[in-house]
Structure 1
Amino acid sequence: MADINIAQAHHLAPEAARAAAQQVADKLAEQFDLECVWDGDVLRFERSGVSGSLSLLPEEARLHIELGFLFGAFASQIEAKVADKMRRVFTGA
């Protein structure tokens, strides 16, 4: 099992941060066929072999992904792609 933890700073209003988080979640859901559900300011996602959450804080978004055995082999590639997506949606870069 592999864990991915990404913290991305942002200066977005709460509504904009939520929209950015939803973009990240939509991409993850598309790639990994995940079920995503908001629980307050935390977006939780899950499927067999992948689970995690994206937590919105006033100036930071924190993503935690737990990868099962099969996906664990691709952890570094997944982390790089997700970190890039988070950077782009939360900073506009």
Structure 2
Amino acid sequence: MADINIVQQHKLTAAKAREAAQQVADKLAQEYDLACAWDGDVLRFERSGVDGSLTLGKEQAQLQIKLGFMLSAFASTIEGKIAEKMRKVFTEPV
């Protein structure tokens, strides 16, 4: 198994940070067929072989993903794509 941990700083309001997180979740859901659901300020997502969360803080968003054996070979590619998307949506106007 592989773990992906990404912390992205932001200066967004709570509502804008939630919109940005939803954009990340929508991309993850589309590309990796994930089911996503909000639990307060935590967006949880999963599917067979993937389990993770995107936690919103006042000035940062923290993404944690556990990849199963089959996807662990692609961990660096997945991490790069997600980090880029998070950088974009949390630092540019939503």
TM-score with structure 1 setting the length? 0.98
The corresponding residue for 1:76 is: 76
The corresponding residue for 2:42 is: 42
The corresponding residue for 2:85 is: 85
Tell me the alpha carbon deviations over residues 40-90 of structure 1, each in whole angstroms, 9 at most, x when there is no partner.
000000000011000000000000010000100000000000000000000
CA distance in 1, matches of 2:88, 2:14: 17
Any idea what SS the aligned residue of 2:22 has? helix
The corresponding residue for 2:53 is: 53
CA distance in 2, matches of 1:52, 1:5: 10
Any idea what SS the aligned residue of 2:36 has? strand
CA distance in 1, matches of 2:67, 2:8: 20
Count of aligned residue pairs for this structure pair:
93
CA distance in 2, matches of 1:6, 1:90: 12
Identity of aligned residues (%): 67
The corresponding residue for 1:33 is: 33
The corresponding residue for 1:20 is: 20
RMSD (CA atoms)? 0.9
Gaps of 5+ in 2: none
- 4+ runs deviating over 4 angstroms: none
Gaps of 5+ in 1: none
